[in-house]
Structure 1
Amino acid sequence: MRVIWAWLWKGALIIVAAPLVLGLLYNVVSPVSTLMLARWASAQPVVRDWRPIEDIAPALVRSVLASEDARFCSHAGVDLVELQQVLDESDGLDAPRGASTITMQLAKNLFLWNGRSVIRKGLEIPLALYVNLVMSKRRQLEIYLNIAEWGPTGEFGAEAAAQHAFRRGAGELSGRQAALLAVTLPNPFRRNPAKPGPGLSRLAGNLQARLPREGAELTACLDLAR
């Protein structure tokens, strides 16, 4: 019995330590997501071509921020304003995307699993706070833009998404194309930026209309060169 408990403790320590070590390592290493690993393990295709954030169209950077996490530059990994609204309006077990910040999504994609789970949500918040502590906002967004699931057949990251939808690189996207890709993120299995329906077109148009008002604040913490 003591041997079993010893192994359980060792396993628990590894589980706790792994994200702490990897969070630091990912400042210099280009990571993959747990979903990408799961697809490889099940012999499903994965398409990902890493691009530094400076090689991604600024229109896409701003569009993703405006669509996914408009207060990205001002919160510490968890948007307490949005989270409180969710807790007031629901059971808070699996917050809508509006309350799940880019940092929280990044923590989930790097260390956790998909699906509705009290345990997962409970782990996601402290991991997001840790990621925000050890990683710059610019690096967080760069990783997110390169590991987000963006297509129905294993397309991950902005470059794969841009090539799949528009046959062009992530640095060559127009404002309209960037907006379409950004509003596809919540459900890349049902939304097709290459052939947007009226609903997706409307979402992209509304997003484009917001950007002139929000653009400077969205990227204030990123030190974008262009």
Structure 2
Amino acid sequence: MAAARKRGVIARLIALLFKLVFGFVLLSVAMVLVYRFVPPPTTITMLTDSNGATRDWTPLDRIDRDMVSAAIAAEDGKFCTHNGFDTEAIEQAMRRNMEGGRIRGGSTISQQTAKNVFLWQNGGFFRKGLEAWFTVLIEGIWGKRRIMEVYLNVAETGIGTYGVEAGSQRYFGKSAGSLSRDEAARMAAALPLPKKRSVKNPSGFVRRYGNNIARRIRIVQRDGLDSCARP
């Protein structure tokens, strides 16, 4: 009898786990489908930001092409050719991290978008696993152009500031559709650490990095590395 009860408990736990996994899959697919057409209303990062969250959703065709190219130049040069994951960058990051020093990531724009929209900023392997799942979904359901559009609208661009439109208005007093190449490059240079890197009055490093990105923008556009996401 005890063994039968134990088997019954295990069976119920397995059934519950299956229901939870199945429910999560359905919910996640439904959310990705909705956000294929509807702007995400908010994110966990925005909701937990003690500085508030200023944003202004802007369609990709109203964002200057240089900003799209700058994001690719700074964050993910293989954006248009990978399937959501840059295995070479991941391997390089793992090797650098094993050598010690500051932890570096190998996340693509697709992975960053999945994390920013559906998940939270900190976390270990569990969050990384969820990030991979959502990355596969948005690559398959959204496509590259929508991924770039969402990324440029939810990425943190300053203290309490999200998206390139809000960032452009904050730093340059104009819309993201009117950014110069240098302005787009400076915004892209601050993307990894928007709370610590000044866009308006950049430090020596950010200024040099921004100048490097500005030069790489020309290469991105010349070689069509932004062709999948051109506004």
The TM-score by the shorter chain falls in which range?
0.7 to 0.9
For 1:111 and 1:179, the matched residues in 2 are separated by 27
Residue matched to 1:206: 212
What aligned pairs does 1:3-152 form with structure 2 within 5 A after superposition? 5=13, 10-31=19-40, 32-39=42-49, 44-90=51-97, 96-97=104-105, 99-152=106-159
For 1:13 and 1:184, the matched residues in 2 are separated by 39
* Aligned-residue offset at 1:197: 1.2
Q: Cα RMSD over matched residues?
A: 2.3
* Aligned-residue offset at 1:78: 0.6
* Aligned-residue offset at 1:18: 2.2
Give me the TM-score of the superposition, normalised by structure 2.
Answer: 0.85
Long gaps (5+) in structure 2 = 1-7
For 1:95 and 1:164, the matched residues in 2 are separated by 30
Q: 1:200 to 1:89 in 2, by over 3 A?
A: closer
* Matched residue type, 2:43: S
The one-character-per-residue Cα deviations of 1:39-86 (angstroms, maximum 9, x if unpaired) are 4xx7x5211111001101111111011101110000001111211222
The one-character-per-residue Cα deviations of 1:186-217 (angstroms, maximum 9, x if unpaired) are 00110110111111100001111222222242
Which of 175, 194, 203 is equivalent to 2:181? 175
* Matched residue type, 1:119: F
Residues 76 and 132 of structure 1 are in contact (CA less than 8 Å); yes or no, is this contact kept in structure 2?
Answer: yes
Give me the TM-score of the superposition, normalised by structure 1.
Answer: 0.86
